[in-house]
Structure 1
Amino acid sequence: MADEKQLEKVTASSVSQSFTDDDGQEITWTEEEEKALLRRVDFLIMPLLILGFFALQIDRGNIGNAMTDFFMQEVGITQFQFNIGQQLLSTGIVLLEIPSNIILYRVGPTLWIGCQILAWGAVATFQAFIKGKGLGPYLTTRLLLGLCEAGFIPAGLYTMTRWYKRSEISRRFSYYFLGNLFAGACSGLIAYGILHMRGIAGLSGWQWLFLLEGLFTIVVGLIFIAFFPQSPANPRSLIAGKSFRYFTERESAILQARVFKDDPSKLQPRQNVSWGEVKDTLTNWRILPHFLTTILGMASAHALGAYAPTLVIGFGYGRLQSNAMMTIGAWILLVLNLLWGWLADKYSKRGLMVFLGVLGLWVFQLGNRLLITSPNRDLRFGFLTMATAFMANWHAVNGAWLSLNARSAGERSITMAIFVMGANIAGIAGSQIFQAHDAPVYRTGWTIIVALCSASLFMSIVANAQYWLLNKFQKREGEDRYKY
């Protein structure tokens, strides 16, 4: 019996797959060979993309920690003006999201993403020197930060679709968002330590926060440019000599062939996104439910990202302690993000996982609204923690779901840009949810959040329903055309 099982294992590993390219050349490989290459791809590109996302979220979100260290008072701005700055950051990202991915399509990820990281790292660092400068410099740095960050997330998402098959992509998108979530989980702890540096060299704690984390990002940008491969067809870094390749020519051919065989729409015959592809994407009504689910659901995530430590202070906990406490929900979110991506790929149920994630968000945000006058601070903190845990665990799966239903490589690139635009439009709305006149319980703010999450839940149902109906009436070769 043991010998039979061993024979089955050997036979399975030696099964050959093949692909014939446009020149009529047949490429053949075994499943065992493909699995070994996939592991190498994971260890090569995913850590660098995750590290870049970690730096992005640290620089984007550390202003919430700075607020607990008298940031607004020392810069010389009001809470309303602070919210405007957050809106400008999201606006900058929205403005350049699509142009950025068009440039990515032509220039390639190594140079374009690497330069983006260096650019926003420089802006993030110089935020340390706006103390006492008032509204103008604050608004300028937030807008510049958004403009420099524009395109990084969809660029990473699109780049992964060039390396991975459809059955592998939800998990990899979830791995990618680990950088974002790990930053959220660590930022409060990091800030707790750095903010204690207040007074060293005459700087405030928040100044040290921007300075150290901005310099870290610049180092990340240099590492990315030095080591990230340009493409499966050209698996070299920019600084390596022409003789050095991460993969042999045969391995590179297999990496391309296995992806094209799985999804022919990933063939990229041109160096530019065509205007026809841009037009087709912008008029693709199937994107709309995904887009609205993202905007409506992620608005509360942006609100909590900036105000969660301040809300915890309002519950009666310590000023610096609040930064560390809010990392609990972020760590739970990190685990749920991985679980959602794994389940989505394992069972091929992306739409269901998006719905369940948004449902969890709605439940806990409703709890936050109902508890605004509760004297039980621990219960309020518990619901806030769980709302944080569900605020984005479905987001990466939603992006993978969109990617799988794109009809060409160019359309996929623009679709990923539109997807992330939705998340940043949510930032524009979410930044104004909590207002000073509504403090300290934020009755109106929490009511708006519940309304937005309710609408997001409804749109996730619409997204699922549209693909079910389309597959019911449009069959291609006996298989469902659309993935849900």
Structure 2
Amino acid sequence: MEALEKNDLFEKERPSIEQAENYQVSFTPEEQKRILRKVDWRLVPLLSFLYLVSFIDRGNLGNAKVAGLGKDLHLSGTQYNIAVTLFFIPYSLLEVPSNVILKLTRPSIWISLMMFSWGLVITLTGIVQNFSGLLAIRIFLGVAEAGFFPAATYLLTVWYTRYEVQSRMVFFYAAVSLAGAFSGLLAFGIQKMDGVAGLQGWRWIFILEGIFTVFLSFFIWSLLPDSPNTAPFLTTEEREFIVLRLEQDTGSGRGRVTNNDKVNKRQVIAGLTDWKVWAAVFMYWATSISSYGFTYTVPTVILELGYTAADAQLLTVPIYVVAMIFTVINAMVSDHYRQRTPFILLGVSVGIAGFTALLAIPHPQLPGLTYGMLFLATSGIYMSLVPTLCFVANNLAPSSKRAVGMAHLICMGNLGGIAGSNIFLAQEAPHYWTGYGFILGIDCMAFVTCLILRYALKRINAQRDQMTEEDIREKYGDVDLLELGDRSPYFRYTL
């Protein structure tokens, strides 16, 4: 009975491969590009802007510290690092449950609720009076923001094929680089409100940015499309075109995958236990440990070079702009050549060069050289993340396993934020031996892991190439092949 129900579902929900090909033929190449542009303009700028907002709200603690938060709250020793660290515990642990909820409900509603929650928490951060209050508010912020990044990155994968998604995701992720720039600019302007309504300038940073996020959350539910199947801005034929071309994206030209599967226990377990995800965590750490440790520290590093607090905020801007440019170029070239691991290795190598230089420079001498190496280190941090995310997304199917697997990768990766938040020690300023050295070691580990993954998946692809159609059909039916997802002999891993 169960087998009959599964076959019935397969026949009812999925057209034949011949029908799918007819949909491709029914649109000219120019019309196909036009449909994708419609999706691009509706989805990518909106998600990019939302991620810009979320990262500014998450990272403005570093700007508030420079603006006087630590002094006014009487923080001492490692108390600031503890406050940064606590955010990552609920933020990391709740990412997988959040993406399971995302698959069970409408993404637009779930993301809107998350935005309202974290905007409210950020606003309340502006009235914190002591260290205990700061710890509590950072925990609540971690809970509220936990699901946004895995939700947004997964949402992109249900709209674009494997070698289209990175060119879109990079503009979404470039918002991280811009967040560092905008956060510095906003903090520079807002901290000048010091004394308004009897509040310190750093409090206004939280209050104004939080209110804006709450306001924005009331509009997102009606603007963000949930999936190609229900997109109101596409015609019925255009929706079918998007859905069916994704089903054919197996990498071999045979078989199919699905984005319409329902989340179940089997796929949740598969996403949590897949060895490719666990290996990719080491590559993700090259970004998460670096970005969460280094991003919070960059304004302070510049401040210690002899600049004023206001100038330190402004001087972070060009660093993140350059990082964004290199991140976009690296990702788009990766899609063009249909490769992931070489461009992960490139980003990690740039990071290795930057942090090696920061370790070697005799601080605080040579402030100009130190500032220049911040460009190299920051670019290396961000260049490798998007190829790593897309490497995992490209190699997980069906969509329920991908949703869980991507959230699991981000969860484990963001636990690296706990380490990153505690490796830049105030007593080591301005050298930061532990911080720079730890990141250099993680980058080297990521480099080796990436090489191992490439070799292992290339070998599996070669083994599947040896299987004939008769061999495959003798072992599996259509439903079996669909449920196998990335374990199907038709599926080819992206390298």
Provide the TM-score with structure 2 as the length reference. 0.87
One-letter amino acid of the counterpart of residue 359, structure 1: S
- Kept after mapping to 2: 8 A contact 1:298/1:392: no
Q: Residues 38-437 of structure 1: matches in 2 within 5 Å?
A: 38-130=36-128, 133-235=129-231, 245-263=232-250, 264-270=256-262, 273-373=263-363, 375-437=365-427
C-alpha offsets along residues 448-481 of structure 1, whole Å, 9 cap, x if unaligned? Answer: 2322222222222222222223334443668882
- Distance in 2 separating the partners of 1:105 and 1:453: 33
Q: Which 10-residue stretch deviates more, 260-269 or 304-313?
A: 260-269
The answer for the alignment partner of 1:4 in structure 2 is none
The answer for the alignment partner of 1:15 in structure 2 is none
One-letter amino acid of the counterpart of residue 411, structure 2: M
Assess, with a 3 A threshold, how the Cα gap between structure 1 residues 232 and 444 changes in structure 2: closer, same or farther: closer
C-alpha offsets along residues 28-64 of structure 1, whole Å, 9 cap, x if unaligned? Answer: 2222222111000001111211111011101011111
Q: Which 10-residue stretch deviates more, 254-263 or 321-330?
A: 254-263
Q: Give the Å deviation of 1:23.
A: 5.2
One-letter amino acid of the counterpart of residue 288, structure 2: M
- Distance in 2 separating the partners of 1:208 and 1:310: 20
Q: Which runs of 5+ in 1 are unaligned?
A: 1-19, 236-244
Q: Give the Å deviation of 1:322.
A: 0.5
C-alpha offsets along residues 64-85 of structure 1, whole Å, 9 cap, x if unaligned? Answer: 1111111112123224111111
Assess, with a 3 A threshold, how the Cα gap between structure 1 residues 22 and 388 changes in structure 2: closer, same or farther: closer
Q: Give the Å deviation of 1:253.
A: 1.8
- Kept after mapping to 1: 8 A contact 2:350/2:379: no
Q: Give the Å deviation of 1:21.
A: 6.3
The answer for the alignment partner of 1:13 in structure 2 is none
Q: Which runs of 5+ in 2 are unaligned?
A: 1-11, 251-255, 469-489
C-alpha offsets along residues 84-128 of structure 1, whole Å, 9 cap, x if unaligned? Answer: 111111111111000000000010211011111111111011100
Q: What SS does structure 1 have at the residue aligned with 2:94?
A: helix
Q: What SS does structure 1 have at the residue aligned with 2:327?
A: helix
- Distance in 1 separating the partners of 2:37 and 2:213: 27
Q: Give the Å deviation of 1:152.
A: 0.7
One-letter amino acid of the counterpart of residue 372, structure 2: G
- Kept after mapping to 2: 8 A contact 1:369/1:446: yes
One-letter amino acid of the counterpart of residue 437, structure 1: Q
The answer for the alignment partner of 1:10 in structure 2 is none
- Distance in 1 separating the partners of 2:308 and 2:456: 48
Cα root mean square deviation, aligned: 2.0
Q: Give the Å deviation of 1:274.
A: 1.2
Q: Give the Å deviation of 1:395.
A: 0.3
The answer for the alignment partner of 2:454 in structure 1 is 464
- Distance in 2 separating the partners of 1:256 and 1:296: 34
One-letter amino acid of the counterpart of residue 222, structure 1: F
- Kept after mapping to 1: 8 A contact 2:276/2:392: no
- Kept after mapping to 2: 8 A contact 1:98/1:417: yes
The answer for the alignment partner of 1:483 in structure 2 is 494
- Kept after mapping to 1: 8 A contact 2:99/2:407: yes
Assess, with a 3 A threshold, how the Cα gap between structure 1 residues 477 and 39 changes in structure 2: closer, same or farther: farther
- Distance in 2 separating the partners of 1:40 and 1:47: 12
Q: Give the Å deviation of 1:359.
A: 0.6
Q: Which 10-residue stretch deviates more, 407-416 or 253-262?
A: 253-262
C-alpha offsets along residues 301-326 of structure 1, whole Å, 9 cap, x if unaligned? Answer: 21111111111111111111111101
C-alpha offsets along residues 358-380 of structure 1, whole Å, 9 cap, x if unaligned? Answer: 11001100100001436111111
- Kept after mapping to 2: 8 A contact 1:434/1:445: yes
- Kept after mapping to 1: 8 A contact 2:353/2:376: no
Q: What SS does structure 1 have at the residue aligned with 2:285?
A: helix
- Distance in 2 separating the partners of 1:115 and 1:436: 37
Assess, with a 3 A threshold, how the Cα gap between structure 1 residues 219 and 118 changes in structure 2: closer, same or farther: same
C-alpha offsets along residues 340-396 of structure 1, whole Å, 9 cap, x if unaligned? Answer: 111111001111000110110011001000014361111111112221122112101
- Kept after mapping to 1: 8 A contact 2:95/2:408: yes
- Kept after mapping to 1: 8 A contact 2:249/2:257: no
Provide the TM-score with structure 1 as the length reference. 0.89
Assess, with a 3 A threshold, how the Cα gap between structure 1 residues 226 and 22 changes in structure 2: closer, same or farther: closer
Q: Which 10-residue stretch deviates more, 85-94 or 251-260?
A: 251-260
- Kept after mapping to 2: 8 A contact 1:51/1:220: no
Q: Give the Å deviation of 1:265.
A: 2.2
- Distance in 2 separating the partners of 1:317 and 1:374: 12
- Distance in 2 separating the partners of 1:323 and 1:443: 23
Assess, with a 3 A threshold, how the Cα gap between structure 1 residues 342 and 23 changes in structure 2: closer, same or farther: closer
Aligned residues: 453
Q: Residues 5-44 of structure 1: matches in 2 within 5 Å?
A: 22=14, 26=19, 28=23, 29-30=26-27, 31-44=29-42
One-letter amino acid of the counterpart of residue 265, structure 1: V
Assess, with a 3 A threshold, how the Cα gap between structure 1 residues 134 and 374 changes in structure 2: closer, same or farther: closer
Q: Residues 445-464 of structure 1: matches in 2 within 5 Å?
A: 445-464=435-454
One-letter amino acid of the counterpart of residue 317, structure 1: Y
- Kept after mapping to 1: 8 A contact 2:94/2:147: yes
One-letter amino acid of the counterpart of residue 267, structure 1: N
One-letter amino acid of the counterpart of residue 163, structure 2: S
